[in-house]
Structure 1
Amino acid sequence: MIDWRAIDTVLLDMDGTLLDLHFDSHFWLEHLPRRYVELHRLDEATQEQIRARILRERGTLNWYSLAYWSRELGVDIVALKREIQHLIGLRSDALDFLKWLQRAHPRVILATNADRESLELKLPLTGLEAYLDAIVSSADLGVPKEAQEFWFALQEVEPFDPSRTLFIDDNPEVLESAREFGIRHLLGIKQPDSTRPEKELEEFIALDRFATILPEELPSEVPGDKLRDDKVRGEMIRSDRAVPGEEGGKIG
């Protein structure tokens, strides 16, 4: 499916791609509306109004901004997320995939719509940073991944060749935006939320497991192998004292 010799850069989404979307789905559609009603002492019927209010911002920076929702709803979103942070977790074989990329590939970038507050919650719980060369949030660039401007801005801060880049995301609207920009290799996710049914994407190949796109053996020559190997050797030396991410748990 993927000729890894033709790939120099891997761009990865976080929620629903590396991380199980169950945490986010449950928080925004169940936990937050319920806690909002409790904290403001409102009627249970208000929960549906809150869900509708949240969904109206879909695809915008506001949709992904914890600070925005804290202001709008008059609650501490981060504190409420911490109430169910035990639901934060990696998708089934995401860690194996990241480990393979760390051994075999020169550049791995997290390209996410999650804002910095979300990242500060999730990264320490999952140890994702140990496997990434860079982390770029749409909040940093001032535009969501659904917009073309995101990709131009991303290329400015983390240069990449669209024709030699693989991008994996669970959001078909984001994948379409990436395709319009010219990213050649695009893959979706069949089951972003482990508690919900699988879904096929009309315009893109969707993965059920990352293992399906990995070769049986590491390619003998991958661009940037030497640089990656030097980096990994350095991390292995440091790991004698501490393993990256051990202080955390899981993410979502």
Structure 2
Amino acid sequence: MSLLPWRDIDTVLLDMDGTLLDLHFDNHFWLEHLPQRYAELHGVSRAMAEMELHPLFERNAGQLQWYCLDFWSAELKLSVRDLKQETAHLIALRPDADTFLAAIKQAGKRVVLITNAHRDALSLKLEKIQLAPYFERLISSHDYGYPKENPQFWDALQADIGFDPTRSLFIDDTLSILRSARDFGVAHLLAVKEPDSRQGPRDTAEFAAVDDYRDLIAGL
């Protein structure tokens, strides 16, 4: 990947899950732990649990409620917060993400976390990984009422923090979100090559991708 034009970047917008944190925690939770515990708590087989859950997941993917722990707790009649605590030991930083964060903060860049994670999920992760000191703001899309996939999220973010999209870098592991940011006018965009450490590299389509955070620091 070529060097970033750091002299043209004032603001760094960063996703959390799959970008700064290993997506293995979330994938394991939603695809393995939740179906298993749902089956146990509702007295059905694992296969039946998956048959009931998968249509719900597909119907709500990419919408704000997909990321909302209150929604899923009500929908599934269990405490998603409590179940997440059961696997919280899997929450982990991606390699050298903290080195990157320290470097861009030291360089005087404005650094803002923008995540679709529900505030309760954000709090759980910040208890395990000390990310907050690196950021000017920690913004959940639930604060605005729109997920990052929605153009209205970007309008709300602009009204809130007043950033210049033409002088901003945004890193996210979700291609639909990167495309939404591009449509808004964010000039510098990077995907993540390997969001989940257990699943290997993946195709990031038209976007250049972060493979090693130490490479991004060059030229700061």
Verify same fold: TM over 0.5.
yes
Offset of 1:14 from its aligned partner? Answer: 0.3
Unaligned runs of 5+ in 2: none
Deviation at 1:207, TM superposition (A): 1.2
CA shift at 1:210, angstroms? 1.3
Q: Is the 8 A contact 2:36 2:49 kept in 1?
A: yes
> What is the identity, as a one-letter code, of the residue corresponding to 1:93?
D
Q: Which has the larger radius of gyration?
A: 1
The answer to whether 1:45 aligns with 2:16 is: no
Q: 1:180-221 deviations in whole A, cap 9, x for unaligned? A: 0000000000100000020121110011111122216x4xxx
Match of 2:14 in 1: 12
1:38 and 1:48 map into 2 onto residues whose CA distance is 12
CA contact (8 A) 1:33 1:51 kept: no
Percent of aligned pairs sharing the same letter: 51
Structure 1 residue ranges without an equivalent (≥5): 219-252
Asked if structure 2 preserves the Cα contact closer than 8 Å seen for 1:189 and 1:206, the reply is yes
TM-score scaled to structure 2, two decimals? 0.96
Aligned Cα root-mean-square deviation (Å): 1.0
Cα separation, 2, equivalents of 1:162 and 1:11: 10
Runs of 4+ in 1 over 2 A off after TM superposition: none
Report the counterpart of residue 78 of structure 2 in structure 1: 75
Aligned positions of 1:96-135 closer than 5 A: 96-135=99-138
Q: Which residue of 1 aligns with 2:179?
A: 176
CA distance in 2, matches of 1:127, 1:212: 22
Q: Which is worse superposed, 44-53 or 123-132? A: 44-53
In structure 2, how many angstroms separate the alpha carbons of the residues matched to 1:33 and 1:213?
Answer: 38
Give the count of matched residue pairs: 217
Aligned to 2:217: 214
Superposition deviation, residue 46 in structure 1: 1.5
For residues 127 and 137 of structure 2, the distance between their equivalents in structure 1, rounded to whole angstroms, comes to 15
Between the aligned partners of 1:131 and 1:199, the Cα distance in structure 2 is: 28
Quote the Cα distance in structure 2 between the aligned partners of 1:10 and 1:169. Answer: 11
Structure 1 residues 99-158: Cα deviation after superposition (integer angstroms, max 9, x where no partner): 111211331000110011111111121110011110111100000000110001001111
Q: Residue 162 of structure 1 aligns to which amino acid in structure 2?
A: P
Partner of 1:3: 5
